[in-house]
Amino acid sequence: MIIKILLICLAGFLGAMVDAIVGGGGLITIPALFATGMPSHLALGTNKFASSMGTISSAYHYYKSGVVDLKLLKYFLPLSLVGSAVGVWAVLQMEADFLKNLVIVMVLIIGVYTLVNKELGLHHKFESISRKKIILGMLLAVTLGFYDGFFGPGTGSFIIFGLIGIFGMDFKHASANAKFMNFTSNFTALVLFLINGKIYFVYGVPMAFSMMLGAKVGASLAVNKGAKFIKPVFVLVSFALVLKMVFDSFGG
């Protein structure tokens, strides 16, 4: 039991550090929880509990750095909440496996597109908020809120890519604002998993502390190193997520 907890804490620290920079931390943390033999719904709930604590840490660090746009986020956070609530309800009714193939293709496309477009996300071109952009951002929030509650892997990466595409943010600003949207959907999912008794606190509590530390380190790296550091990490995590999901599909 102690060895399992130590390994889960290590996975939590690394996962939260990566997640604070570009998203995709579930690539590390969810398999670690599955490795304990935990049922899927319990593993997903426990991961939401621990990752929510890590997201609080990184969101706070981003907020203090001054790269978070609260005027913009006020339109999106309520929809992230609603989408996540519906997503959790859906996943508790069925298995999420059928989404895997679609997600693999989407993450692969994002990774390749980001790699090919050398200047994507390196310069902050955010200027004004138009009605069209707000509507697109709201659709992004509710859709990825649902996805985060229902399945999860790659949510942060999808939000970052969406904010860059819609608003012209660089990776640093997109990562910061994505973290607040991700926190909203994470916390909503956490509450619903908690109500349904799908959290194993013996693993969740120590993992949460390790993820808070990892998130702080990751957010600090992202703020201090900037977009040129974040972009290659984003591409690397995108391809790693694809490979992991393909491996899981063939393994299954």
Supply the range of the domain harboring residue 116. 2-251
**Which carries the bigger pLDDT value, residue 231 or residue 42?**
42
Q: What are phi and psi of 6, to 5 degrees?
A: -65, -40
Radius of gyration of the chain (CA): 17
Round to whole Å and give the CA distance between 142 and 89: 14
Residues 6+ apart with CB under 8 A from 137: 72, 75, 76, 162, 163, 166, 167
The string of pLDDT tens digits covering residues 108-144 is 676 676 666 666 556 667 766 788 999 999 999 999 8
Full-model pTM? 0.75
In the prediction, which pLDDT does 245 show? 66
Average pLDDT over residues 26-42: 81
Whose structure tokens read 């194993």? Answer: 200
In the prediction, which pLDDT does 103 show? 57
* Residue 122 DSSP code: T
Burial status of residue 5 (CB atoms within 10 A of its CB: 0-12, 13-18, 19 or more): middle
Round to whole Å and give the CA distance between 92 and 94: 6
Percent of the chain with pLDDT over 90: 20
Round to whole Å and give the CA distance between 113 and 121: 11
**Overall number of domains in the chain:** 1
In the prediction, which pLDDT does 203 show? 94
Report the mean per-residue pLDDT for the chain: 82
Question: CB-hemisphere CA count at 13 Å for 213?
Answer: 10
In the prediction, which pLDDT does 249 show? 64
Round to whole Å and give the CA distance between 70 and 76: 10
**Which carries the bigger pLDDT value, residue 217 or residue 157?**
217
The answer, yes or no, to whether residue 250 has pLDDT greater than 70, is no
Round to whole Å and give the CA distance between 79 and 178: 13
- For residue 64, the Cα-to-chain-centroid distance in whole angstroms is 20
Average pLDDT over residues 8-31: 84
Window from 4-18, 49-63, 106-120, 184-198 with minimum mean pLDDT: 106-120
Average pLDDT over residues 175-204: 88
The string of pLDDT tens digits covering residues 57-99 is 888 888 888 888 888 899 999 999 999 999 888 877 766 555 5
